[in-house]
């Protein structure tokens, strides 16, 4: 898979998660302001990835979307949000 194809795939996944994730009621170490700040950072990295993709700077775009995914995964691991990463139904386990 090319850098361009990977970029498109990861951007699509992150967009879906940011739209569909639900906050949990579980107690987390971070306060609401901190959680919102992290979500804002993840969204900014997503926008950066999309921008760099349009500029055909695919390596930079991949780096940005990887940061976005990392922040989303961290929030999930903290129990602050709930989501599942989209899976490709054509991919064999």
Does any domain span residue 50? yes
Does any domain span residue 43? yes
Q: The domain that contains 30 carries what CATH number?
A: 1.20.1270.90
Q: Is the pTM of this model over 0.85?
A: no
Range of the domain at 45: 3-82
Give the per-residue SS3 of the chain. CCHHHHHHHHHHHHHHHHHHCEECCCCCCCCHHHHHHHHHHHHHHHHHHHHHHHCCCHHHHHHHHHHHHHHHHHHHHHCCEECCCCCCCCCCC
Does any domain span residue 77? yes
Model pLDDT for residues 11-66, shown as the tens digit of each residue: 999 899 999 999 888 765 688 899 999 999 999 999 999 999 999 999 999 999 99
> Based on the structure, what is the number of domains in the chain?
1
Does any domain span residue 70? yes
């Amino acid at each position: 898979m090319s850098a361009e194809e990977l970029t498109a795939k990861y951007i699509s996944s992150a967009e879906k998660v940011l739209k569909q994730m639900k906050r949990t009621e579980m107690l987390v170490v971070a306060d609401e302001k901190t959680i919102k700040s992290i979500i804002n950072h993840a969204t900014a990295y997503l926008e950066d990835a999309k921008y760099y993709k349009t500029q055909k700077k695919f390596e930079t775009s991949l780096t940005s979307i990887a940061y976005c995914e990392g922040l989303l995964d961290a929030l999930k691991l903290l129990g602050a949000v709930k989501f599942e990463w989209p899976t490709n139904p054509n991919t064999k386990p």
